[in-house]
A and B are shown apart, each in its own frame.
Chain A
Amino acid sequence: WFCENKDNNGTLSNKVGKSSNVESDSTQIQRDVSVPQKVHTKTPKSGKEGLLELLSSIKVDITTKRKPRHSTRPNSEKPSTKPKPVHLESISKMYRNAVVDASTQRCVETLDPKVVSAASAAAATLPNSNQALNELLKQLKENELVTEGQKRGNVNNLRYVDTAVMFSAPPTLWDIDFVQELATCVDHMPRNGLQEMIDWTKDGRMWRYPIDNEAGLEEEANVPFHEHIFLDKHLEKGFPRQGPVRHFMELVVVGLSKNPFLTVQQKKDHIDWFRDYFQQKKDVLKEADVFLQ
């Protein structure tokens, strides 16, 4: 493996000129990162991925000093904490991290300092601390953007005001008041019955055209059908395996599986209620010798 790396190194030393800036970026990022003991690639899928892989293998060669030690154990699969085998995905991630690190540096400034320190503390526990830190910060930044976008969207539930009025921070009472004042200035009365129906649809009072039978059931659409039907797995804990109680519960499960009106959570709640009930009545059942655990 290692000779392969060396060969790659040799052939790519000519091409290094082009990618030298990427390398310098990566060298500045101090990684006490993993050596690819085994670069688990057979053939690169596309030209770009091959380049990624080769570039990342260069990086690792330069940053590691463990060359001679690992050359003696090319096929060792001993999982050691520091030199972990690096797979293609993490390789490409490292490449991605190398490129986007400038932007994550900027991200660090806009995030709350407490968040950043928490993230660095969390990342320090992981082996690839710097890589993990960069990923965490990137994720936090994305989350922040998402929540800010949601906050902006939730303010303007007034139909006729132009929502191009953007708020830089969460909207204050003044902003809400301004938006309401604009809404009162505009004449938003409907001019015919169809415009009135449009207003009602935006309010949520009317069905949407074209009529969709499953309007309002979007969450249910994400629940797969087998969670509704195969409820036996909820009978595994807390109920006896044989006897009248089990028989009864199987009938309950059969009934629930045929019920199209309850959500999965409601069905689970039914079964949980029965579990609690039979647990409470354990003494009575034991007297009647039916409760077999």
Chain B
Amino acid sequence: CVTSDVQAACRDTTVTQELLKEGFHRDLQVKVELGEDAGGCAVAARIHLPPGIYVDPYELATLQQQNLTKALLIPDVTDVEAPEYLATALVLVLFLEADPRCSRCFRAAVPVHARYHRPAEGSQHALVALESPQVLLCCCHSHLAAECWEPAEVGAPCSAENVGPCQWHSTTHRAAREELMLEVPVGLREHSSLVCALTLLTTLLCASLILAATCRHGHFS
């Protein structure tokens, strides 16, 4: 049967992602091992960031200026202060560098930040699910095996050199995707009444202290 031959001819591209560091500020590291040779194409990964996580566009711009990271954020502006329930999802196209450890390996890292999530009942953490990235190739002059790579529509321009037609490609055969989970601490709804009561009481107390001192020592004549 033709189909199985075609699939057997294309070796799987493996993509792994990892979240380094802890807390709200992490580094997302993406590693890709291509099944076939890249053939002079630029390798990138398209990452869908859910509303619970974001990339700071200003931080990204600084990193790009220092040639430490190359990436495109779509859309390129985001409210960095918004909580998760008021934020929108983002798409990040991260260009990968050749990994010296193996011949068809590529990798890159980008700093990501977690947003504040809704307070929860009975749980101290909220979970953010990060889908597995999609591997993309940006090819300008090379020919790729048509069975393994198909043209893709990415809402971003290809590499810097604009010589001839450059086209994005993605894999025809999608391997099983693994989700990466990020734990974000959240406030507890059970605390609401206590917190409101004690906060207002304390502020009233402190305000009274200052008011009393002002009335005693201030000049009201």
Interaction A to B: no
- Residues in A lying within 8 Å of B, measured CB to CB: none
- Residues in B lying within 8 Å of A, measured CB to CB: none
